[in-house]
Each structure stands twice: as structure tokens, then as C-alpha cells.
């Protein structure tokens, strides 16, 4: 499963302005740090729990005692509700969950003064998180991934020890633990690149359709939560569990590596590793969002799992092949190709390969975990001529692969937004 | 207090010209309905008549194509959260998370309603007691029987202490004893706590047993609504009285009674078709004629006849 890009710092680069500089303009863009919580949820803070509502007496008759707001929040709930930030991007206009614009301020005074439960998505996420962490699939994935990762790192560690003299020139042998793959076993990052999507898919492929088949969805959406709280909460819980898995596995691996190598990571190494972890969570988030989309659109969990896994396998195994084929069609290379033709062909192939989240992940990881990588994609000899091999600081490394990072985050957000929009438009009844 | 009494005068649920179409099929068409506070209203109709669609529109879970809905004076489409905070809902074929206990399932609902800690636990105990599940509350739901699941569903709908309770086929799949328990619970909720109840069913006897008023739903339209007497009156006012006697055939005496339309014999029992309740006169006349009256009652399945009549009418319309 090793791919050419895996450890090789400069395997393929790209000419021209592909360096860091031309990319500055994109920085202010949409990326932010969508990693953990792409949805608008968190803004709900200000709602006061149950303030002012006296629990007794609510049942005392159809109208008795409910007339006036009990606490000091005349017409309170509305203002807060409408202040709630909308969901992601275009999906906000779907309209099912809009409630309480200013015009119903008057009826509100007659209704209960009880405020909304603070963030339904948080309650849902809490339950889902508990379910996920106690599930067998979490345990199995953690063990499988952990064992594979330890195997990968042990091999890498042995190789690094055996070639200690060669490694000594490297700016950070600690990070080599994660990126080098000396034998048959792929490196740790390649392993996450290949197996990671499985984890993402595992925690989302049955998110919504399971609620349908257990017939809990109608009950869930008839509680005072927005409908998007359901999908937001589940996605947030999934990301949390994926983060836990990744952090746990990385920590185990780092521990094993430190023991076997006897080197301690520098602060910069740790920082790079943390940035890498965030990126890996986003990468798994893309697959989780896709699996979520499958779970929304497909009634049966088995179908949903098959489709998600199928797409994952096709993109992982045949993505490069497909990109090559497409490139040959669009930018054909003749019998006596010119250099320009070849370059064009390779660049086209590279562009197509970036449709696969795995390519985005692999390229950004290559730069993030190897300070010596200064470009990704096709690099011509002229461009490296006279270049002095040196290490980049973390910020510059991030800059090198900024477009890939942005694309990965965007893919996650867009796929989730589609799942979100489809879910909000669906009928509750199957 | 004036505000309160004004509120109670308003209906708990009202629909005007409510219509829902899915593509070319119309699930509900031109529904006009009003349910007063504290009333128990039964939506009666065969499966697929539009009952569940109507209920989903009341809860804001699906948007009406046309018309207006008001629940507790609120628009469920635009004020969904406020409506859902005050309306308890038992879905058709309710489900729970099978790996959690009954109590844990209810706790989740409580938290979704913003209830936590001691208050939530107290309410959970209360509703479990009410539906008679206290003893099994800490078993996994996967071990529950269907009837227990249904009762847990009612408990679940009651956690939020709703002002309006909407029950979609609350007794479906229950054995008669369990069904009776559920119906008794519904009756006492309405009587003791003033909860407005809207329930749907295709079983007439149950609807008849608990509902103050009934609406008959046929293929998306409400063909009749009212109390059982009103519905009976609307269709010629025929009632059937069963009479059982010792000492001969009382048919002639019965036929001569004022208000009696016909008399048929059904085994040992004589069936008297009448325009009004003439049981008193029957008792007096038969006593005078020397018969020993051993059985006298008004047939309870009046609604069944009304129901069948409406359905056969609509079948004719369709044909």
C-alpha cells in the first residue's frame, strides 16, 4: 500500500509559482479551523438553563398557572432563539427549523417561560459519544489500528537505529518514525491514510438510518430540538471519537518509538505532530461526512456501509490510475512527446489525483511531517538547481501545503453540508 | 386570571383547510378540525387515511402544503420548538434504543427537554409508575415486550409534562388487557390533569371507550366529526337495543312501541332498531305483558355501523 509520495520528500513537485509565496492570498479564506466543529452549534451558549421556571404546577390544568412568565425573562426565549447562528453554508435556507421570528413576541408571553434546553446538539452528541466509546466497533478499531501502527513504528524505529549515521543528518529523527517505511510495512501516516477512512466510515455509516430502523427518529425529532441538532450532534460525537482514537494511537506509537529509539521529540516535533493530528481528523472527517451522507440517503445500514466502503476502496486503490487515464485523455502525450506536453500531462494527472481526499492528505502530511519538503507536486530539475537543502519552520511547511489543507477542510464541510441539507428536507416518516 | 381564561377558551388544536400533498397523491385534503382544551379527541380511520400525516403536521414535523395549523395558539411550522416543548408525542410503532435500559431511554428524552439531575429522575420515576413499568425500568429495552415498549412510549411522551398529548395508534399490537391499561391511563390523564389528548386509531371500540369526540377520516378527508350521539344522529339516529326475555316472543309488543323501527331476532336476543333510546318503555311494557326481562342493553358498536356506513359511502364515491 505504499505510495510513491509517502516518505519521499521531493518525489514530484510542481513548477512555477507552486511554492509558498503565491498562496498567501488564500490564507484568509474559509479554512479557519473547522476541524472540530464545522456546524454553527456552539453559539448557543447564552440560553439560561431552566431559569425562572417553576417545575411544579405545569401539570395543573390546561391553562392554570401557565399564564404569565414566572421568571424574570419576559418574552425571553425568542430573542435568544433567533440569535442562534445558522447552520453551515447554503443549507441554512432549508427552512424546516426556522422558529420564532420577532413577530410572535406577544404569544410568547403567554407561553411557558421555560427556556430551551441548552443546545440540543450537545445532549445528542453526549449520548452518541457514550454509545460510540462503549461500542464494540470502537474497541476493535482501536486495537487493529493500534497494532498496525505499533508494527509500522517498530519497523521504522529499527531501520532508523540501524542507519543511525544516516538519520543523524535528518533534522528530526522523531518524525521519521511516523513517515519512513523501510520494509514491507507502510509508514504510520500511510497507514492512517489508508485505514483511517475505515474509522471515519465506521462511526457514521449508520448514524441516521439506524435511528430510522429502530424507529427512534420520530421520537427524537419530536423533542424540543432543531432537526439539524440531530445530525450536528452525531457528527460532532463522531469527530470526537475519531480524535480520541487518533490521539490514542499516536500517543502509543510515540511512546513505543521513544522507547526504542531513545530520542525525545523537540517542541517543534510535537507541534508538527499536533498539526498533523488535526489534519488527520479533518481527513477522517471527510469520510465520516460521506458516510453520514450515505446514512441519510440510504435506508439500510448495510447498503450505506457498502457504498461508503466501495467508494473508499475505489478512490484508494484506483484513484491514481483513474487520474492517469483522465490525464491521458485531456492532455495526451504523443509518440514523440515534447517536454511541455509531458509536463502538462503530469500536471493534469496531479490535479485530478487531488480529487481524492487521500492525495490531499498524503501531500499535506509529507510537508507537515518533513521540514525538508519545500514543494509538492512536479518539481523540475531546474527548479531545484542550486537549492540548498535546509529545513523549513512549521509555519512555512504549512504554507507549502496550504491549498491541500484548505481543500481537505472544504471537502469535509461541503460533503457534510450536502448530508445536512438532504436530511433537513427528508420526511420524518420512512 | 383573565388572560388564563381567555387562553382556555381557545382550542388546543385547530386546523383550517389543512392540506398535504406528496407529489400527485393527496394525503390530507381540506381538513378542518378543532379540539378544545382538556378534550379527548379520536381520529378514526383505516390505515393510510392520513391520520399520521395530520399528526406530523400538528407537530411541525412536516410542512402543510396548504392551510393553517395552530397548536396551543402556535404555528408548528414556524414555532416548532415551542410546540414540541409543550406537546407530547407517541409515534406510530414507537422505538427505543435497544441497548439502553428503559430508564436510560427516558433520561435521554428528559435531557433533550432540558431536564437534569434530581428533577429529571423524579419525573422519570413518576411516569414509570404511571405506566406500571417501575419494576422493569432497569432492564434493557431489547428485553421488553411490545406492550411494555408501548407503555414506555407513553411514559416518554409524558416526561415533558405536556399540555397536549398526541398518540398515534397507542394500542396497536397490544393484547386487550394491556390496551385497557393504556386507555385507562389516557382517560385519567385527561380527567385528572386536564391534558388535551388527540389519539388516532383504527379500532372503534377503543376510540369509543375513551374519546369525547371523534373524527372519522377517510382517504385524506374528515368525513364526520362530533360526539358519538351526534354522529349517530347525523345518520338517521338509528340505535340498536338488545332485549332478552323469558316467556315467549315479545316482537309484537316491541314493534308497537313508539320510536321503534324494526325488530329482528338474533338467537336468543331480539334486536330492536329504534330512533332513540327506548329502553325504559321496553322494560315497562314487557313487565306489564308478563315477560321476564333478563337482558337489556344498547349495542355499543354503534360507532362501528357509522364507521362502516361512512366507508361504504366513500367507496361508492370512489367507484
What is the rounded average pLDDT of the residues A45-50?
38
Distance between CA atoms of B142 and B310, rounded to whole angstroms?
41
The 10s digit of each residue's pLDDT in B91-102 is 988 999 999 999
Nearest to B95 among A214, A222, A223 (CB): A214
What's the pLDDT at B2?
40
Binary contact (A63, B8; C-beta < 8 A): yes
DSSP designation for B22: E
Q: What contacts B181, CB < 8 A, 6 or more positions away?
A: B132, B151
Binary contact (A111, B37; C-beta < 8 A): no
Binary contact (B91, A224; C-beta < 8 A): no
Distance between CA atoms of A88 and A103, rounded to whole angstroms?
25
Residue tagged 460533503 (cell numbers): A415
CB contacts, 8 Å: A219 with chain B? 89, 91, 94-96, 109, 153, 156
**Does residue B12 carry a pLDDT above 80?**
yes
CB-defined contacts A:B, below 8 A: 149
**Does residue A408 carry a pLDDT above 70?**
yes
What is the rounded average pLDDT of the residues A74-83?
40
CB B60 within 8 A of CB A86: no
Q: Is B165 helix (H, G, I), strand (E, B) or coil?
A: strand
Nearest to A107 among B74, B112, B194 (CB): B74
Considering only alpha carbons, which residue of chain A is nearest residue B73? A107
Sorted by where each begins, the domain ranges of chain A are 121-373+390-425
**Does residue A81 carry a pLDDT above 70?**
no
What's the pLDDT at A298?
93
Q: Is A16 helix (H, G, I), strand (E, B) or coil?
A: helix
What's the pLDDT at B39?
92
What's the pLDDT at A410?
95
Query: Edge to edge, what strands does the sheet with B292-298 contain?
Result: B260-266, B269-274, B239-246, B292-298
What is the rounded average pLDDT of the residues A142-148?
90
Sorted by where each begins, the domain ranges of chain B are 2-226, 236-304
Binary contact (A100, B115; C-beta < 8 A): no
What's the pLDDT at A213?
92
Q: Could you name the CATH architecture of B236-304? A: 2-Layer Sandwich (3.30)
What's the pLDDT at A181?
76
**Does residue B30 carry a pLDDT above 50?**
yes
Binary contact (A224, B61; C-beta < 8 A): no
Considering only alpha carbons, which residue of chain A is nearest residue B1? A67
Of A173-187, B191-205, B258-272, give the lowest mean pLDDT range.
A173-187
Mean pLDDT computed over every residue of chain B:
85
- What percent of chain B clears pLDDT 70, i.e. is strictly above it? 89
For the entire predicted model, the pTM comes to 0.75
The cell numbers describing B318, all together, are 370512489
CB contacts, 8 Å: B102 with chain A? none
Of A17-21, A245-249, B69-73, give the lowest mean pLDDT range.
A17-21
Distance between CA atoms of B226 and B207, rounded to whole angstroms?
13
CB B149 within 8 A of CB B167: no
What's the pLDDT at A373?
77
Band (B178; pLDDT cuts 50, 70, 90): confident
Better pLDDT: A98 or B246: B246
Considering only alpha carbons, which residue of chain B is nearest residue A124? B112
Considering only alpha carbons, which residue of chain A is nearest residue B99? A131
Enumerate residues 354 to 413 of chain A having a beta carbon within 8 A of any beta carbon in chain B.
Answer: none
CB A272 within 8 A of CB A368: yes
Burial class (CB in 10 A: 0-12, 13-18, 19+), A393: exposed
**Does residue A110 carry a pLDDT above 60?**
no
Enumerate residues 82 to 121 of chain A having a beta carbon within 8 A of any beta carbon in chain B.
Answer: 96-101, 104, 107-108, 110-112, 114-118, 120
What's the pLDDT at A74?
41
Superfamily (CATH H level) for B2-226: P-loop containing nucleotide triphosphate hydrolases (3.40.50.300)
The 10s digit of each residue's pLDDT in A323-336 is 888 888 888 887 78
What is the rounded average pLDDT of the residues A281-310?
95
Q: What contacts B25, CB < 8 A, 6 or more positions away?
A: none
Distance between CA atoms of A231 and A229, rounded to whole angstroms?
6
**Does residue A93 carry a pLDDT above 70?**
no
What is the rounded average pLDDT of the residues A344-367?
86
Q: Would the CA dihedral through A284, A285, A287, A292 be positive or negative?
A: positive
Please report, for residues A202, A215, B154, B173, the alpha-carbon distance to residue B93 in angstroms, rounded to integers and kept in the order given: 28, 7, 12, 9
Please report, for residues A182, A242, A270, A304, the alpha-carbon distance to residue A245 in angstroms, rounded to integers and kept in the order given: 25, 5, 18, 23
Amino acid at each position: 500500500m505504499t505510495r510513491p509520495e509517502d516518505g519521499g520528500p521531493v518525489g514530484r513537485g510542481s513548477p512555477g509559482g507552486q511554492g509558498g509565496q503565491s498562496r498567501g492570498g488564500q490564507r484568509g479564506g474559509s479554512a479557519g479551523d473547522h476541524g472540530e466543529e464545522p456546524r454553527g452549534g456552539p453559539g448557543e451558549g447564552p440560553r439560561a438553563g431552566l431559569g425562572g421556571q417553576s417545575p411544579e404546577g405545569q401539570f395543573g390544568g390546561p391553562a392554570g398557572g401557565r399564564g404569565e412568565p414566572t421568571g424574570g425573562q419576559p418574552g425571553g426565549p425568542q430573542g435568544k432563539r433567533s440569535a442562534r447562528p445558522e447552520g453551515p453554508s447554503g443549507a441554512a435556507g432549508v427552512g424546516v427549523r426556522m422558529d420564532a421570528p420577532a413577530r410572535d413576541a406577544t404569544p410568547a408571553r403567554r407561553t411557558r417561560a421555560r427556556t430551551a434546553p441548552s443546545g440540543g446538539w450537545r445532549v445528542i452528541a453526549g449520548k452518541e459519544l457514550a454509545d460510540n466509546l462503549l461500542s464494540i466497533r470502537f474497541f476493535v478499531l482501536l486495537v487493529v489500528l493500534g497494532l498496525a501502527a505499533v508494527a509500522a513504528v517498530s519497523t521504522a524505529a529499527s531501520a532508523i537505529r540501524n542507519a543511525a549515521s544516516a538519520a543523524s543528518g535528518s533534522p528530526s529523527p522523531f518524525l521519521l518514525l511516523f513517515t519512513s517505511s523501510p520494509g514491507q510495512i507502510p509508514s504510520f501516516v500511510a497507514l492512517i491514510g489508508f485505514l483511517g477512512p475505515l474509522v471515519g466510515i465506521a462511526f457514521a455509516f449508520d448514524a441516521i438510518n439506524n435511528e430510522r430502523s429502530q424507529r427512534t427518529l420520530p421520537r427524537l425529532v419530536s423533542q424540543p430540538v432543531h432537526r439539524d441538532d440531530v445530525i450536528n450532534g452525531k457528527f460532532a460525537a463522531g469527530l470526537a471519537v475519531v480524535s480520541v482514537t487518533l490521539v490514542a494511537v499516536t500517543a502509543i506509537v510515540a511512546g513505543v518509538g521513544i522507547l526504542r529509539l531513545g530520542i525525545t521529540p523537540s517542541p517543534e516535533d510535537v507541534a508538527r505532530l499536533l498539526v498533523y493530528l488535526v489534519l488527520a481528523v479533518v481527513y477522517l472527517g471527510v469520510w465520516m461526512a460521506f458516510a453520514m451522507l450515505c446514512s441519510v440517503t440510504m435506508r439500510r445500514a448495510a447498503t450505506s456501509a457498502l457504498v461508503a466502503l466501495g467508494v473508499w476502496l475505489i478512490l484508494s486503490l484506483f484513484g491514481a490510475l483513474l487520474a492517469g487515464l483522465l490525464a491521458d485523455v485531456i492532455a495526451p502525450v504523443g509518440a514523440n512527446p515534447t517536454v511541455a506536453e509531458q509536463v502538462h500531462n503530469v500536471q493534469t494527472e496531479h490535479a485530478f489525483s487531488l480529487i481524492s481526499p487521500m492525495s490531499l492528505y498524503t501531500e499535506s502530511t509529507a510537508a507537515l511531517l518533513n521540514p525538508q519538503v519545500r514543494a509538492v507536486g512536479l518539481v523540475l530539475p531546474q527548479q531545484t538547481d542550486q537549492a540548498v537543502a535546509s529545513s523549513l519552520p512549521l509555519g512555512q511547511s504549512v504554507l507549502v501545503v496550504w491549498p491541500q489543507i484548505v481543500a481537505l477542510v472544504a471537502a469535509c464541510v461541503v460533503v457534510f453540508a450536502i448530508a445536512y441539507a438532504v436530511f433537513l428536507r427528508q420526511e420524518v416518516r420512512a | 386570571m383573565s388572560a388564563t381564561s381567555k387562553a382556555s377558551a381557545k382550542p388546543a388544536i385547530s386546523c383550517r383547510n389543512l392540506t398535504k400533498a406528496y407529489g400527485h397523491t393527496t394525503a390530507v385534503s381540506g381538513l378542518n378540525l378543532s379540539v378544545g382544551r382538556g378534550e379527548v379527541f379520536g381520529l378514526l380511520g383505516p390505515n393510510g387515511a392520513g391520520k399520521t400525516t395530520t399528526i406530523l403536521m400538528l407537530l411541525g414535523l412536516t410542512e402543510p402544503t396548504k392551510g393553517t395549523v395552530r397548536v396551543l395558539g402556535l404555528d408548528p411550522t414556524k414555532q416548532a420548538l415551542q410546540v414540541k416543548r409543550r406537546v407530547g408525542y407517541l409515534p406510530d410503532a414507537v422505538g427505543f434504543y435497544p441497548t439502553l435500559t428503559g430508564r436510560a431511554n427516558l433520561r435521554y428524552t428528559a435531557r433533550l427537554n432540558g431536564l437534569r439531575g434530581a428533577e429529571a429522575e423524579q419525573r422519570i420515576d413518576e411516569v414509570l409508575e404511571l405506566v406500571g413499568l417501575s419494576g422493569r425500568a432497569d432492564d434493557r429495552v431489547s428485553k421488553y415486550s411490545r406492550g411494555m415498549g408501548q407503555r414506555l412510549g407513553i411514559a416518554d411522551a409524558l416526561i415533558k409534562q405536556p399540555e397536549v398529548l398526541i398518540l398515534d395508534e397507542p394500542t396497536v399490537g397490544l393484547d386487550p388487557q394491556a390496551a385497557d391499561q393504556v386507555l385507562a391511563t389516557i382517560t385519567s390523564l385527561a380527567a385528572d390533569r386536564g391534558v388535551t389528548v388527540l389519539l388516532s386509531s383504527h379500532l372503534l371500540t377503543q376510540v369509543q371507550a375513551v374519546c369525547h369526540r371523534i373524527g372519522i377520516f377517510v382517504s385524506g378527508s374528515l368525513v364526520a366529526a362530533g360526539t358519538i350521539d351526534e354522529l349517530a344522529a347525523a345518520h338517521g339516529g338509528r340505535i340498536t337495543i338488545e332485549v332478552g326475555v323469558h316467556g315467549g316472543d315479545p316482537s309484537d309488543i316491541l314493534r308497537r312501541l313508539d320510536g321503534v323501527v324494526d325488530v329482528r331476532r338474533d338467537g336468543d336476543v331480539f334486536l330492536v332498531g329504534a330512533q332513540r333510546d327506548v329502553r325504559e318503555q321496553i322494560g315497562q311494557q314487557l313487565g306489564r305483558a308478563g315477560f321476564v326481562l333478563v337482558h337489556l342493553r344498547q349495542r355499543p358498536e354503534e360507532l362501528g355501523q357509522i364507521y362502516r356506513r361512512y366507508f361504504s359511502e366513500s367507496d361508492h364515491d370512489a367507484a
